[in-house]
Structure formats: C-alpha cells, structure tokens
C-alpha cells in the first residue's frame, strides 16, 4: 500500500468529472448545430460529412459517459480503501488512477480534434 494524498486523488476525480460534464454539454450543442445545418444542406458530400459528425458526436457522448462512470467507480474505490486501510490506498488503485488520467487526457485530445474539425466544416459550408 502507498500512503498518498487521498484528498488530492478525490479532487482530481471531481475535476475530471466536472470537465466531462462540460464536454457532454458542448458535444450536445455541436450536435444541435449540426442538425440545424442538416436541414439546409443539400449536396451529397455535405450530407455524408453531416452523418460522419453526427456519428462521432454520438460515439464521443458514449465515451464521455463510460469514462465518467469509470472515474466515479474509481472514486468509490478510493473512499472505500481510505476507510478500511486508515487513509492509505493500494498500489493498484494508484495505477488505476494514472490509467484513468491517461484515458481522460486522450479523450480530451480527441474531443478537441473533433471540435476543430467540426469548426472547419462549418466554416467551409456557410
């Protein structure tokens, strides 16, 4: 077991989940914008791109949900270990925390790329 700042781990989990909540709202707004565009676009290429973005928004909403759930479960594990092991957490829990952080960073990067691609698409199709 590792003695670590368990409060810091919990703060990080809360911050990640809050960011993911914001990301979920942002992706929903982009999808709404996309649906508005879909009503006025008529070319086949644009409709294909609209379908692509709609699918990507849906997939990323699922990814956000899954990661939020994993972080919440991890936070419950941290709290449980803290109570049962007098403020300490297992090495595996620390490793899980680092893995979740990597997953969080990867998802944030993916979302940024998707948002940038969508902004370019919107600019090209005004």
Residue 1 lies in a domain: no
The share of the chain scoring above pLDDT 90, in percent, equals 79
Residue 116 lies in a domain: yes
Based on the number of CB atoms within 10 Å of its own CB, is 121 exposed (0-12), middle (13-18) or buried (19 or more)? Answer: middle
What range does the domain containing 15 cover? 6-124
- What does pTM read for this prediction? 0.91
Q: What is the pLDDT of residues 32-82, one digit of tens each?
A: 999 998 888 778 999 999 999 999 999 999 999 999 999 999 999 999 988
When divided into structural domains, the chain yields a total of 1
Residue 23 lies in a domain: yes
Cβ atoms of 34 and 56 closer than 8 Å: no
């Amino acid at each position: 077991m590792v003695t670590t700042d368990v409060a810091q781990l919990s703060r990080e989990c809360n911050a990640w989940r809050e960011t993911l909540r914001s990301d979920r709202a942002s992706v929903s707004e982009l999808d709404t914008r996309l649906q508005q565009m879909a009503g006025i676009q008529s070319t086949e290429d644009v409709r294909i791109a609209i379908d692509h973005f709609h699918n990507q928004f849906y997939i990323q909403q699922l990814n956000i949900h899954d990661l939020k759930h994993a972080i919440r479960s991890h936070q419950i594990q941290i709290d449980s270990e803290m109570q049962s092991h007098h403020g300490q957490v297992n090495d595996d829990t620390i490793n899980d925390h680092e893995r979740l952080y990597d997953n969080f960073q990867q998802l944030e990067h993916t979302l940024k790329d998707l948002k940038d691609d969508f902004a370019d698409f919107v600019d090209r199709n005004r």
